[in-house]
Amino acid sequence: MRSRNRQYLASVDHLRAYAAVLVLLCHGTQMISPYLREIPNRSPHGWLYADNPLATLVLEGHTGVALFMVLSGFIFTIGTLGKDIRYGRFLGNRVLRIFPLYMALIILGVGAHKQGANLLAVVQSLVGLGNLPGSLDLGAVSRMWWAIAVELQFYLLFPLLSRLLTKHGPLALYKLLAAITVIRTLVWASAAGSINVNSMLYYSLAGRIDQFLLGMMAAWLFVHHRKRFQGPLKVGISTALATGAIWAFNQTHSFHEGHATRLLWVDIEGTLWALVVLTYVATVSSTGLVSRGIAKFGEMSFSVYLLHYMVVTMFISRRWWIELTGRPVLDAFITTTAAVLPITLAAAVVTFNGIERPFLRWRRAYLLTDQPQPTAHPPAPKVALVSPR
């Protein structure tokens, strides 16, 4: 049983590593390329577009954040489905997972950027509202903290959502997702074009909650219908669908242009990543050397995510880049892959082992397993469950 647990946990960490690399490559390539030379196909707002679907995985690598959020809903649900959660202990474990490194960055960032900090801003960032106006603005140090706020807001809701799924099945989450979609559409339509598309749909729980819910639904399907999603072909099809959708998103200039289709994109993106997660975790069970190495990267993905933006900014400010081909986008990609990625990973090894890991050992069990809970679905097949982190 423990061996099966390690296999599923490794496949989840593979996807965490993939998500972190996507975000890092996106920021490195998009941010470094303008400093090399003029780029004819760059849009007026500075975004890059490409005809190659694989290239758009890099240029739209911010989609890795959506994958992270689907994974959050998936991994927590896998470990808690059918059980009651001790709310206090659950939140305590989340604090131990997030706050040691987060607090270290806050303390060091405030020390370096006092002009962007005050007591209210510190408190706002600490209580999970760091994605709202008035929170800490510490330059490159705090650039990625909005995602921490969205995750913390989801953590507050998850025990309730988990109980809803356990007692009433996935249909309850589908109804909730539909209700959220209707309300969000009405908010959008009533604003008469005055809403910033990314503020509403990208940087907030209002746009991201769908992806958490879709991850939870994928976990339910994994527990009850895992064998239906097994197979390399199914992994390939789900990955191709996600890649094609991201390419179409890039070609329609949807990241910066406030199209109403963005209201649908949050669910399309979340659904396709949920399908990738479901098929990959159901299929891939390798525990070999390469698998363990990728999984170790995924285990450190939180450090990679929080540190990489500072590394990219460091390269830009010092004009450290590799110019091999004379093609700015390609050279920016090479610089990011050959220099930014390994330096970020080296820094993540230090912060994970020095700050994150010691506190992770303090986490406690938070599931009430002594009294089985009634469920709205038949008993699940016996399957090794991944322990939530």
Condensed to tens digits (0 to 9), the pLDDT of residues 300-317 reads 999 999 999 999 999 999
Q: What is the DSSP letter of 204?
A: S
Across 285-298, average pLDDT: 89
- Hunting for tokens 């069970």 — which residue is that? 285
- pLDDT at site 298: 95
Across 92-99, average pLDDT: 96
Look at residue 240 and tell me whether its pLDDT is greater than 70. Answer: yes
**Candidate from 118-122, 257-261, 301-305, 310-314 with smallest mean pLDDT:** 257-261
- pLDDT at site 211: 97
Which alpha helices (DSSP H) does the chain contain, by range? 2-32, 53-59, 63-80, 87-112, 119-126, 145-168, 170-190, 197-201, 205-225, 232-251, 262-283, 289-299, 301-317, 328-335, 341-351, 357-360
The residues that bridge with 84 in the sheet, in sequence order, are 368
Q: Confidence band (pLDDT; 50, 70, 90) for 346?
A: very high
What mean pLDDT, rounded, does the chain reach? 89
Q: In whole angstroms, give the CA distance from residue 311 to residue 323.
A: 18
Look at residue 373 and tell me whether its pLDDT is greater than 60. Answer: no
Look at residue 330 and tell me whether its pLDDT is greater than 50. Answer: yes
Q: How far is CA 364 from CA 91, 92, 245, 361, 389, in A?
A: 11, 8, 40, 9, 11
Condensed to tens digits (0 to 9), the pLDDT of residues 138-188 reads 999 999 999 999 999 999 999 999 999 999 999 999 999 999 999 999 999
Condensed to tens digits (0 to 9), the pLDDT of residues 2-58 reads 444 456 788 999 999 999 999 999 999 999 998 887 655 555 457 888 888 889 999
Condensed to tens digits (0 to 9), the pLDDT of residues 180-213 reads 999 999 999 898 777 888 888 999 999 999 999 9
Candidates 144, 260, 124; CA nearest to 201 is 260
- pLDDT at site 44: 47
Q: Confidence band (pLDDT; 50, 70, 90) for 104?
A: very high
Across 214-235, average pLDDT: 96
Which H, E and C letters describe 105-136, residue by residue?
HHHHHHHHCHHHCCHHHHHHHHCCCCCCCCCC
- pLDDT at site 381: 40
Look at residue 273 and tell me whether its pLDDT is greater than 60. Answer: yes
Contact assessment for residue 310 and residue 350, using Cβ atoms and an 8 Å cutoff? no
Residue that wins the pLDDT comparison between 380 and 56: 56
Q: In whole angstroms, give the CA distance from residue 97 to residue 241.
A: 33
Look at residue 388 and tell me whether its pLDDT is greater than 70. Answer: no
- pLDDT at site 41: 53
Q: In whole angstroms, give the CA distance from residue 20 to residue 303.
A: 10
Look at residue 375 and tell me whether its pLDDT is greater than 90. Answer: no
- pLDDT at site 38: 60
Q: Confidence band (pLDDT; 50, 70, 90) for 230?
A: very high
Across 306-330, average pLDDT: 94
